[in-house]
Structure formats: C-alpha cells, structure tokens
Structure 1
C-alpha cells in the first residue's frame, strides 16, 4: 500500500506519521503545498511538488495590497495543485489528509478518489472542525464585547459545516477529538485512541542541555497564538507567584525553529502550555513529555474529559480548569517530587502509547478496516460547550450573537436537538463585562 500524507503540516504530525508508516515497511510520503516555516515534515524530492511549494511560498509572502499579483499566485498555486493531484492519484492507494485540507480542496478530487477506490482518511486538528463560535483561533477578542458581525460569523460557521459534510460524504474514516466534533453527523474515530506520532531528533545540542541546572524553577511557555493560548493571563499568574517570593525563571519563546524549542524543553523544569485548551496534551506538551517535563494545561474540557476518553487514552498532564492555573503552577514549583513523577508519567506515556510505530500502526489498522469498537465515537454524544482558545464568557457571547440574529438553526447542529438546546441555554448565561 502506498500512502499520501498532507498537504499541510501541523506540528510535525504529517512528517512523523509518514515516518512511522515507513518504519512499518509501508510506502508513505508527505507532500506539502507549502514548505513549513519551522522545518517540520520532510521535503519531497519531486520537482513537481517543489514548484508547487515555491508558488505557495510566494503566494503567502505577497500582501493583499498587491492584489493582482496575489490573485495570479493564488490561481497558479491552485492550477499547479491539479498537476500534483494527477501525479498523486497515479501513485498512491490511500490518502491521509491533515487539517481538513486536500490537494485541490475540491469536491471533484474527493469524488474521483472515491470512484477509483482510493482509501480516504481525514485527520482534524482543531480549528479545521471546531465550531467557529467556540474557536478563539478564529474569533479572538481582548474585550468581552469586541464581537465580529453576526453575518461574518454565520458565513464562517456555514462554510465549516459545508466542508465537513463534503468530507463525510466521501471519506472512509474521520479522525477527530470529542471536544471539536460538534458538526459531525456520522460516527468518527476518537483522535485520542490513535494519538500524536512524535519522534525527537537526537543531537548533541539537545542532549548537552539536559545537564542544565538552575537555582530557580525554569518554566517554559511557547505560544503559537498568544491570544488564543491565554499568554497574558499566564504571564500575570507567574508574576504574581514571583511576587509571593517563588524563584521562577520564565522563558517565553515564539516563532522559533523546532530545534530551538527542543533545546529549551531540555533545559526547563516544566511548561505552561495554554489556558483555554480542549486537549490535555497538544504538540508542545507531547514534545516536552519526551524529555520527562510535565505540562500545566488549562482548559474547560478538563472537567469532562473522563466522559469521552478511555482511561488509558488520557495523556498525563496537569490538566485543570482555567481558574485553577495559579494553584497548578504553584504546585509544580513547590513540589519537586510531584513534578518529577508527573514528568516521568508523561514520558512513559509517549514512549509506550504515542511512539511513531505505535500511532502509525493504529492508522494502518484504519486503512485495513481493523477497528476496535472503543475507537468509535457517536457525534450525538457531544455535550462540550466551551470550545478552545477563548474564555467561557466570550464563547457564550458568540453563540448568543448567532441565536439572537438568526435563530438556533444558525448553530448548524439541528441534527443534535439536545446539543442545540444546551447551546441556547448556555448562551443565556452571559456575565456582564466588568471594568478592568
């Protein structure tokens, strides 16, 4: 079996999955529409793909104020994608699409793949499937009442729902988290049952940093999106703890190559990943786990995660409600025994459950239709309302914005009446914004 993985890279997942499949003697290749800026994934040797990536890089580097050039590059990138697709369809037997994107992002592509008997798997990673009204990556806001227009929000919600319906029509399997699967109408595979494939490069620079010691507790925060990750609140909490007298050295890194991130992970005592996560162990926390470094992760999903995941599938992190952040950081600063134990639990988890070969083997089971019953999720069972990347009050306001202007049907969950009613009730409890 020859497997395509791509056409985008998210936190190294595509490259690691392909590497894991190759370790199982399966022919797998990553093809990216644009080379990843942090050097994740592997570069294709095909000149066809290299040209595609070059056009994509020029497209992304061109500002919208150069409208004609931008439009020409968009058209060229899309047209060249069809050439890549024709090459891929002749070569590969199965397609694993990452982050809800395909080579041409067209219905014809999926129709043709299905007609030709190619296996299709979609792997979702957050904002590609999460309802936009509960997505801080799409609609962030520093001020409670700083809301988008109702029409813009509705348009984004409908676009997301249409995309998922298209995928469900043609895909053999959909892999998603119960915290972001509200729009699904057919059963999907629990993302946590499969895991994140990760492999850390062994290099002298990283190994040498593991001998680093400091009198202070070294805390690392590496936000890809500071607003959605709650960076301001996290820095405020650390500052309050420093004022209490705790010796904390906070290291904040952003927009750095992966090798720099790995060096800082080797040096830190623990990481504070984010404040409004809907997963207990995203990519950065997974990388930290390989070094035996625990993660503090805030998120409303912490209160209900055990309802959706098998106990063995829950990654070890200090996953807490957002208002418990200070207590959690303080505990890891003070209790070195607990900190080391949690770090070791996280390390053992990724070394046993989320290895390259282990995760790739479970994807291979999908491709071979060998699926344990416990992997399946019923979309009608989704009850999580708080989303990811934004505080509770903002989610309520975004839901209320849609319901007040267009009615409950605008939430695009009519197929799940109980979820729809829960969201409407959720939106009615809106706290009044307080003056800073």
Structure 2
C-alpha cells in the first residue's frame, strides 16, 4: 500500500503518523505546501507562497498541478489533513475518486469543530474521516459522509526523551500559545502576575514564534506546562510536554474526558483548570511541587500508551484497509 499525507504537517502530527506507517511496512510519503513558520519535517516540500493570498495563485498553482499529476498514479490512499487538499477548492477530489483511490480526511480541530455542515460538504468524497478527540467528534457537524473515527494524535517518542526537573524554590511554568485568544493566554498572564504580586515563587516562560527545536528545549526546562484554558481538550503542546514527563495544566471537557478514559482504560494525568480557576490551580501546585515529578512520570506513561506513533499508525492502517479493502 502506498500512502500520501498532504498538504501540511500540522504540529508534526501527520509526519508522526507517516513515520509510524513506514515502520509498519507501508510506503508512506509526507508532502507539504511549505514549512513556514514552524519546522516540522517533510518528504516533499512544494515551497509554495502564502496560500491564504489570492495573489499567490499564479505562482503556486503550476506547482500544485505538477504535484497532483505526479501523485495520482503513484499512491493508493490520499490522506488529507486540516481540511486541505492538493489543489485549490479541492478540485482534485473527483479525479481521485474516479480512479478508485482511497480518500481519508483528518481534522485537526478548528477545521471541523463547530462548523456548519455546509462548510465541510467535501467530506462526502471521503472513505473515512478522522478526528483527534471525542470532543471534536461531538462538536463536528453531521452529514452524508462517514461516521467520525476517533484516533488520537501521534508523536514519535524517540524524539522526545523524558526530561524531569527537580522542584526548586521557584515554580517554572511554560506556556506556548499559537493563538493567544484561543488558548486563554490573557488569563495565564493575569494569574502569574497576581501570584507574583502576592509573593508566590513562580515564573512564566511565554514561548511564541520560535522553531520547534528551540521550543522543546524551553518545555524541557519547565516544571509545569499550561496548554489551553478555553477549547476543552488538550493539543500537541500537551502531548509533547507529557512526553517530556512534564505535568500539564489544561481545560478538559468532562464528557470527552470520561469517554477517553473509558476508551483507553487510563486515567487522564492532566491537571484541570479554566480561565477562572487557573490562578488557584497554580497556587496549589506551588504548595505541592515535590509531587510534580511523579505526575510527570505518569504523563509520560499515558503518552506511551495512547499517542506513540506506531500505535496510532496501526489504528490508521486499519482505517485504510476499510477504505481500500484490497491493498496494492
């Protein structure tokens, strides 16, 4: 079976799945439009200009067409990520379907969660649609496309060795928002400022706009990592931090948390907080910081069980077999 992942390597997740598939003996290739602003890896990079600008179309479209014509005869399964395909307006889908290729769409949250069905009618072309959490499955629109498969995001654990820290007098907190408003960053900043004004020994490393190789060094130096306080589920920042054996503070939807714990038979090792409670949660962690290394160890074990790239790849491979009953 030959698989093409495209056209983005969002948070490194598609690349981790592709690597896991290769380790399982599948011929898997990751093609990206470009690698800006973060460096997450690829097999083929089209080096397109900003795809959000119409002015980029004359430069980008010839490259996209060449890539599509190159890919069409070479791959059995086309695994598209984040609601994007190889061509604008998803013009490649009819040809992919006509040649009886497998089509899989994988959502990374905001491209599907909370959107009206009219925005995602392209999913009718899919043989399978993957979501990363039970929360996204519940909040995603329903329509004339396959039921959503819940597959957790993948991480290549060999690239994220545990980096536990010994508690010191000052609690070191890291927060790395891709979008401040979405992640509840203002509440994080206010909580840290309030705690410091009260003499609580705590400091914040706000990580923004830096390459992943630099960001992971700063995650590793932290005692605690704050993911997001608004969305209701944890993302790749939390997964990477847990892989580093870091305790993670995050807002979790209760129903999705219960469904996840039932599905995997594990308790979520995450410290729950909202924008309203994050100050109290952090104050409590300062008081019990000696227990944080143990929570970090449990966090690493959870990621090994749920998010290891080969385990996730096996789930994805089962979906491919369903989409393409007879493998090439």
Same fold (TM over 0.5): yes
How far apart are 1:343 and its partner, in Å?
Answer: 1.8
How far apart are 1:321 and its partner, in Å?
Answer: 3.8
Instruction: Give 2:171's match in structure 1, choosing from 217, 222, 233.
Output: 217
Corresponding residue number in structure 2 for 1:319: 272
Corresponding residue number in structure 2 for 1:345: 298
Corresponding residue number in structure 2 for 1:109: 92
Q: Secondary structure at the match of 1:84?
A: helix
Give the aligned length.
317
Corresponding residue number in structure 2 for 1:408: none
Give distance in 2, aligned partners of 1:201 and 1:262.
14
Instruction: Give 1:83's match in structure 2, choosing from 66, 70, 88.
Output: 66
How far apart are 1:346 and its partner, in Å?
Answer: 1.4
- Is contact 1:9-1:36 (8 Å) kept? no
How far apart are 1:339 and its partner, in Å?
Answer: 2.5
- Is contact 1:99-1:125 (8 Å) kept? yes
Q: Secondary structure at the match of 2:286?
A: helix
Corresponding residue number in structure 2 for 1:11: 11
Alignment of 1:188 with 2:171, yes or no, is: no
TM-score computed with the length of structure 1 as normaliser = 0.67
Q: Secondary structure at the match of 1:293?
A: coil
Alignment of 1:253 with 2:236, yes or no, is: no
TM-score computed with the length of structure 2 as normaliser = 0.87
CA RMSD of aligned residues (A): 2.6
Instruction: Give 2:121's match in structure 1, choosing from 149, 152, 165.
Output: 165
Give distance in 2, aligned partners of 1:19 and 1:236.
40
Corresponding residue number in structure 2 for 1:239: 193
Unaligned runs of 5+ in 2: 324-328
Map 1:36-435; keep pairs closer than 5 Å. Answer: 36-44=36-44, 50=45, 52-53=46-47, 56-57=48-49, 59=50, 71=55, 73-131=56-114, 161-167=117-123, 169-176=124-131, 177-180=133-136, 181-185=139-143, 186-191=145-150, 194-200=151-157, 202=159, 214-279=168-233, 281-298=234-251, 301=253, 303-306=254-257, 308-313=259-264, 315-369=268-322
Give distance in 1, aligned partners of 2:8 and 2:181.
23
Give distance in 1, aligned partners of 2:129 and 2:159.
33
Unaligned runs of 5+ in 1: 45-49, 65-69, 133-156, 371-436
Give distance in 1, aligned partners of 2:242 and 2:283.
20
Moved over 6 A (4+): none
Q: Secondary structure at the match of 1:369?
A: helix
How far apart are 1:195 and its partner, in Å?
Answer: 1.3
